[in-house]
């Protein structure tokens, strides 16, 4: 936790300045000496402090007793993302038109935040995609779940059991988990994953790590998933047979892994390399940007996550600066890349213009 102290202090100071900007925009058309201004300032200051406090509490042994503070801190972070968007719009409006209703951004942001909280707490939506491929794999089905972040707020064992139930109802040939499975210490979260053992797939179940497995640095998640019946792919591949077709499933750890373990790296070319003919090649990679790391080998489809679809609009605009796509499909040369919006979520339990999803892909 010590390594987070200085970053939290710096981030809180930056957020403090932004909170002050938002406060000034909201109160622009309201007389300074009012109870509203004092109450709003007090509310903003307390909420600003509860953002880092909630994060710290989430890692403490007593977090169960202080969970309301953690919830509030994360929800305020989501509200903050929404209100800064409208504050910037209001600031632009006032350049051309001055009006006496600057407090509209507070009311609008509160209403949208309630809606976003409702969307964030909903169970994941089943999304079906049909994509083209060689005739030999027509009818193949794959379920992808990603970014579950089990251990964060309401993403607990009971929630995971409901996800497993949804997945099993699909009776897919392949099930793939594309990283950021957990959020917390290994000793605490590993037992909560037991229900993943009951996930059924007619052919095989696969797992690749995301960045959050390494951020917590708390245990052998790969071994835990192997014990639960999954094939972990770290710069390697597995060939399975569907009818008479041979399908290569390759996987890489997250691109950030060298920051946490210098002995590891993400190498798609090594993962995709094979000395035999196959009909179709799929790469499981936590980040869509892994498509840029393929230099030598061929890949037909990349299944990724990480972006959460932006989670709360307009955050996806910032995600676009570091990822080639935020959600859905996009083709890069001969490779089709899919970015999953996340089965769970991270930080605020909120979504705006995105959704939590379980994705079923069928080849036609």
Q: Render each residue's pLDDT in the chain as its tens digit; 364 residues.
A: 566 677 778 888 999 999 999 999 999 988 888 899 999 999 999 999 988 877 777 666 556 667 888 899 999 999 999 999 999 999 999 999 989 999 999 999 999 999 999 999 999 999 999 999 999 999 999 999 999 999 999 999 999 999 999 999 999 999 999 999 999 889 889 999 999 999 999 999 999 999 999 987 767 999 999 999 999 999 999 999 999 999 999 999 999 999 888 888 999 999 999 999 999 999 999 999 999 999 999 999 999 999 999 999 999 999 999 999 999 999 999 999 999 999 999 999 999 999 999 999 999 9
Q: Which pLDDT score, from 0 to 100, does residue 2 have? A: 61
On whether both 77 and 55 belong to a single domain, the answer is yes
On whether both 15 and 150 belong to a single domain, the answer is no
φ, ψ for residue 144, nearest 5 deg: -115, 125
On whether both 54 and 152 belong to a single domain, the answer is no
Residues spanned by the domain of 28? 2-121
Q: Which pLDDT score, from 0 to 100, does residue 184 have? A: 86
On whether both 211 and 106 belong to a single domain, the answer is no
Domain tally for the chain? 2
The pLDDT mean for the chain works out to: 93
Q: Which of 88, 121, 154 is the last residue of a domain?
A: 121
CB contact at 8 A, 211 and 182: no
Q: What is the pTM of this model?
A: 0.93
CB contact at 8 A, 341 and 327: yes
On whether both 108 and 191 belong to a single domain, the answer is no
DSSP string over 213-248: HHHTT-S-HHHHHHHTT-EE-SSEEEEEEETTEEEE
On whether both 169 and 285 belong to a single domain, the answer is yes
H helix or E strand, kind and range, residue 330: strand 328-332
Domain of 198, CATH number, reads 3.60.21.10
Q: Which pLDDT score, from 0 to 100, does residue 52 have? A: 83
Q: Which pLDDT score, from 0 to 100, does residue 3 have? A: 63
On whether both 41 and 109 belong to a single domain, the answer is yes
φ, ψ for residue 208, nearest 5 deg: -130, 150
Burial class (CB in 10 A: 0-12, 13-18, 19+), 233: buried
Q: Which of 121, 155, 180 is the last residue of a domain?
A: 121
Q: CA 229 from chain center: how many Å? A: 24
Q: Which pLDDT score, from 0 to 100, does residue 4 have? A: 64
Distance CA 103, CA 86 (A): 11
On whether both 306 and 176 belong to a single domain, the answer is yes
Q: Which pLDDT score, from 0 to 100, does residue 102 have? A: 93
Q: Which pLDDT score, from 0 to 100, does residue 160 have? A: 98
On whether both 193 and 109 belong to a single domain, the answer is no
Q: Which of 97, 121, 145 is the last residue of a domain?
A: 121
On whether both 87 and 138 belong to a single domain, the answer is no
On whether both 202 and 239 belong to a single domain, the answer is yes
On whether both 20 and 130 belong to a single domain, the answer is no
């Amino acid at each position: 936790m010590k390594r987070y102290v200085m970053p939290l202090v710096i981030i809180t100071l930056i957020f403090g300045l932004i909170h002050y900007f938002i406060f000034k925009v909201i109160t622009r058309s309201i007389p300074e000496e009012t109870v509203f201004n004092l109450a709003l300032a007090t509310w903003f200051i307390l909420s600003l402090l509860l953002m880092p406090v909630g994060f710290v509490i989430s890692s403490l042994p007593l977090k169960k007793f202080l969970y309301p503070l953690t919830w509030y801190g994360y929800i305020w972070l989501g509200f903050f993302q929404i209100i800064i968007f409208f504050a910037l719009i209001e600031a632009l409006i006032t350049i051309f038109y001055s009006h006496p209703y600057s407090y509209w951004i507070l009311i609008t942001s509160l209403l949208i935040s309630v809606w976003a909280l409702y969307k964030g707490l909903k169970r994941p939506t089943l999304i079906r995609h049909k994509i083209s491929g060689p005739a030999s794999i027509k009818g193949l089905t794959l379920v992808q779940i990603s970014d579950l972040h089990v251990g964060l707020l309401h993403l607990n064992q009971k929630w995971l059991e409901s996800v497993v139930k949804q997945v099993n109802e699909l009776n897919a040939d392949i099930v793939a988990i594309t990283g950021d499975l957990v959020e917390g210490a290994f000793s605490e979260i590993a037992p909560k994953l037991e229900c993943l053992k009951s996930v059924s797939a007619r052919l095989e179940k696969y797992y690749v790590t995301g960045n959050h497995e390494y951020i917590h640095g708390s245990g052998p998640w790969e071994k835990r998933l192997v014990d639960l019946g999954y094939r972990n792919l770290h710069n390697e591949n597995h060939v399975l047979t569907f009818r008479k077709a041979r399908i290569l499933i390759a996987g890489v750890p997250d691109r950030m892994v060298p920051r946490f373990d210098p002995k590891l790296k993400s190498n798609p070319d090594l993962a995709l390399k094979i000395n035999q003919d196959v009909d179709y090649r799929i790469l499981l990679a936590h980040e869509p940007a892994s498509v840029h790391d393929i230099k030598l080998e061929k890949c037909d489809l990349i299944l990724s996550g990480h972006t959460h679809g932006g989670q709360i609009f307009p955050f996806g605009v910032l995600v676009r600066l570091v990822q080639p796509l935020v959600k859905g499909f996009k083709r890069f040369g001969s490779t089709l890349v899919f970015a999953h919006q996340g089965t769970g979520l991270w930080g605020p339990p909120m979504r705006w213009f995105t959704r939590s999803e379980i994705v079923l892909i069928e080849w036609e």
